[in-house]
Chains A and B, each alone.
Chain A
Amino acid sequence: MAETAAKQSAVTAANIRTTIAVALLAVFVVAAALGPYVAPYDPLAPAPLEALTAPSLSHAFGTDAYGRDILSRVLVATRLDLIIAVAAVLIALTMGTALGAFAGWAGGWPDRIIGRIIDTIMAFPLFVLAVGVAAGLGNSISSVIVATAIVNLPFYARQARSDVSRQRKAAYVEAAALAGFSPILLVLLQILPNIAPPLMVQSSLNLGWAILNAAGLSFIGLGVRAPTAEWGIMVSEGAANIFSGEWWMFIFPGAALMIAILTFSLCGDALRDLLDPKRR
């Protein structure tokens, strides 16, 4: 009886988790889509007279050193941060899966070379590599996206490579080839339903990491430049004002970051629960 009770509460906890995750995700997506339209103030417009005011009825999150409304800036920044993350993960997903699938299919030298490339990427401390790539490609948002993509690529490449190379040796592939069907197409059609679930879970988690990575890069001054509203750069701007006690400048964008990352992590867990019947 105690066993089933424990299992029951675990299931309920998981359900609560899923509900929260989906709700939060919805909030972020809506914020990203409608942010600029529902923001109470212009996120870029300075208002020196209202600089550094604490959270109040007129400015729910307070204002920054230029008098800009922080709530508006956090709202609008949602779009930029999510776009950066989604773009980076999409690139990592497509390029990584393509590379991995090719390596798994071709075997031999291409496999070894691609394997080495992946190993080399993983031989770097990932944030260090991101800094290096951003340095190499110039100080812009696109280099932040590319850097984040490169750093996330290996996970997809490895997954795709092992899936494809395993299926390549399957008997049905040989049979298809003999029958004249394109074996590559067959393999892709076969593995797709198999790798889609773990891929979705992985992507959800990667979205969290991508946001973390991009925010870190903006914090140190790479990619996004003032006066653009972005969570990382807002935290950086707020850092200087800690000593004078204007806590709202860094807390709110930082909290937004945390909640966003947590949301994607919870979504990943929820997806995993959904797609893995053994865990039910």
Chain B
Amino acid sequence: MTAPPADPPLISIRGLTICFGADAARPPTVDDVELDIRPGEFVALVGESGSGKSLTAHTLAGILDPAAKLSAERLEVAGIDVLADGWDQLRGRKVGIVFQNSRAALNPIRSIGRQLADVFKAHGTASGSAIAPAVVAALTDVRIPDPKRRISAYPGELSGGMCQRVMLAIALAGNPSLLVADEPTTGLDVTTQSAILALLLERVRARRMAAILITHDLELARAYAERIIVMHAGQIVEDAPAAALFANPRHPYSALLITATPARARSVDDLSGIPGKTPDLNARTPACRFADRCSRAEPRCRTEFPPLRIEVDGHGFHCWRPL
């Protein structure tokens, strides 16, 4: 999707397909996804619920639902060929992930200090007497006040924002090269949201990590990411630098998403919402899954998924009749 990179991509995915259930006739939930991410790149993965963005991200983090069936031509993450060697070397060590609802994502009966120490020990990032200071340093890095006292605190004693910071510290504890953030600010109040995202951005930059931000909020994506990938019903439809996407969306779905955002709408009428809903997947699903909701669809859209077209400055999209 991007210009031929000088250094090899951190992440390279070709033909990623994820299915659920034993019904062979049912179209896959994630359909033939192709993706490259460079070291240090900050990418946003955007789409409605059911777009497959979380599944893709969870695949990268190595925590795909065991009921899911995955197939791919290529799945390389930070030098590890996942298809050949599996995810064991990947989790926490190359890829870290933070989730929404952080308090539920932390072990309620183990102090946050010990949870952090567990990760340090698992990856050998610190050991023995070096662990305690490493834990304090990690908490300081995520701006938790009074870290020395906090290491014996339990998640139930912390606010939502603090839990989110702890989760970030845990994700970073293995010194990964990629951070996946799965809707990290859902459920937090607006001030905390921006504080957390700013912290995330700062930490990622300081460690020269790549990051993938999963979100349904385009404005958020625009504010923090340099590149935005738009997904619809398990298919990537557009992949462009953030500014270019907003200035000149090529795929009809992206354009609708942008106008559906309150900040971008010029008038209330523009908040049209997007007609229809995310399609159920069955034998009648068209090749381009947006076809049924698209005002520009033509017969070809139903039978053949449009191949990738890349235009100047790396603006890529899949559409037979782009805007």
Q: Do chains A and B touch in the complex (CB under 8 A)?
A: yes
Q: Is B4 an interface residue (CB 8 A)?
A: no
Interface residues of B in 1-52 (CB under 8 A from A): 21-23
Q: Bound state CA distance, A54 and B293, in angstroms?
A: 80
Q: Is A185 an interface residue (CB 8 A)?
A: no
For B, the interface residue count at a CB cutoff of 8 angstroms equals 3
Interface string of A1-31 (1 = CB under 8 A from B): 1110000000000000000000000000000
Interface residues of B in 39-81 (CB under 8 A from A): none
Q: Look across to chain B and name the residue whose beta carbon is closest to the beta carbon of A2.
A: B22
Query: B25 CB to closest chain A CB, in angstroms?
Result: 9
Query: B30 CB to closest chain A CB, in angstroms?
Result: 19
Q: Bound state CA distance, A2 and B22, in angstroms?
A: 6
Query: A2 CB to closest chain B CB, in angstroms?
Result: 4
Interface residues of A in 204-232 (CB under 8 A from B): none
Q: Bound state CA distance, A1 and B23, in angstroms?
A: 5
Q: What residues on A are CB-neighbors of B21 within 8 Å? A: 1-3
Q: Look across to chain A and name the residue whose beta carbon is closest to the beta carbon of B20.
A: A3
Q: Bound state CA distance, A3 and B23, in angstroms?
A: 9
Query: B197 CB to closest chain A CB, in angstroms?
Result: 39
Q: What residues on B are CB-neighbors of A3 within 8 Å? A: 21-22
Query: B280 CB to closest chain A CB, in angstroms?
Result: 16
Q: Look across to chain B and name the residue whose beta carbon is closest to the beta carbon of A5.
A: B22
Q: What residues on B are CB-neighbors of A1 within 8 Å? A: 21-23
Query: B271 CB to closest chain A CB, in angstroms?
Result: 38
Q: Look across to chain B and name the residue whose beta carbon is closest to the beta carbon of A6.
A: B22
Interface string of B135-147 (1 = CB under 8 A from A): 0000000000000
Q: What residues on A are CB-neighbors of B23 within 8 Å? A: 1
Interface residues of A in 138-172 (CB under 8 A from B): none
Q: What residues on B are CB-neighbors of A2 within 8 Å? A: 21-22
Q: What residues on A are CB-neighbors of B22 within 8 Å? A: 1-3
Query: A259 CB to closest chain B CB, in angstroms?
Result: 39
Query: A187 CB to closest chain B CB, in angstroms?
Result: 38
Query: A97 CB to closest chain B CB, in angstroms?
Result: 38
Q: Bound state CA distance, A1 and B21, in angstroms?
A: 7
Query: A4 CB to closest chain B CB, in angstroms?
Result: 9
Q: Bound state CA distance, A3 and B21, in angstroms?
A: 7
Q: Bound state CA distance, A61 and B137, in angstroms?
A: 79
Q: Bound state CA distance, A23 and B21, in angstroms?
A: 38
Query: B277 CB to closest chain A CB, in angstroms?
Result: 23
Query: A72 CB to closest chain B CB, in angstroms?
Result: 56
Q: Look across to chain A and name the residue whose beta carbon is closest to the beta carbon of B22.
A: A2
Q: Bound state CA distance, A194 and B225, in angstroms?
A: 54
Q: Look across to chain A and name the residue whose beta carbon is closest to the beta carbon of B21.
A: A3
Interface residues of B in 120-146 (CB under 8 A from A): none
Query: B20 CB to closest chain A CB, in angstroms?
Result: 10
Q: Bound state CA distance, A192 and B33, in angstroms?
A: 56
Query: A27 CB to closest chain B CB, in angstroms?
Result: 41
Q: Bound state CA distance, A2 and B21, in angstroms?
A: 7
Query: A5 CB to closest chain B CB, in angstroms?
Result: 9
Interface string of B194-221 (1 = CB under 8 A from A): 0000000000000000000000000000
Query: B8 CB to closest chain A CB, in angstroms?
Result: 40
Q: Look across to chain A and name the residue whose beta carbon is closest to the beta carbon of B26.
A: A1
Q: Bound state CA distance, A2 and B67, in angstroms?
A: 12
Query: A105 CB to closest chain B CB, in angstroms?
Result: 36
Query: B125 CB to closest chain A CB, in angstroms?
Result: 42
Q: Bound state CA distance, A88 and B7, in angstroms?
A: 81
Interface residues of B in 255-295 (CB under 8 A from A): none
Query: B93 CB to closest chain A CB, in angstroms?
Result: 35
Q: Bound state CA distance, A256 and B163, in angstroms?
A: 59
Q: Look across to chain A and name the residue whose beta carbon is closest to the beta carbon of B24.
A: A1
Q: Bound state CA distance, A2 and B19, in angstroms?
A: 14
Q: Bound state CA distance, A148 and B278, in angstroms?
A: 59
Q: Bound state CA distance, A50 and B51, in angstroms?
A: 81
Query: B66 CB to closest chain A CB, in angstroms?
Result: 15
Q: Bound state CA distance, A1 and B22, in angstroms?
A: 6
Q: Bound state CA distance, A1 and B19, in angstroms?
A: 13
Q: Bound state CA distance, A2 and B20, in angstroms?
A: 11
Q: Bound state CA distance, A2 and B23, in angstroms?
A: 8
Query: B22 CB to closest chain A CB, in angstroms?
Result: 4
Query: B249 CB to closest chain A CB, in angstroms?
Result: 39
Q: Look across to chain A and name the residue whose beta carbon is closest to the beta carbon of B23.
A: A1
Q: Bound state CA distance, A41 and B224, in angstroms?
A: 91
Q: Bound state CA distance, A1 and B20, in angstroms?
A: 11
Query: B194 CB to closest chain A CB, in angstroms?
Result: 42
Q: Bound state CA distance, A3 and B67, in angstroms?
A: 12
| 7 chain-A/chain-B pairs, Cβ below 8 angstroms | A1-B21, A1-B22, A1-B23, A2-B21, A2-B22, A3-B21, A3-B22
A-B residue pairs, 7 tightest by C-beta: A2-B22, A1-B23, A1-B22, A3-B21, A3-B22, A2-B21, A1-B21
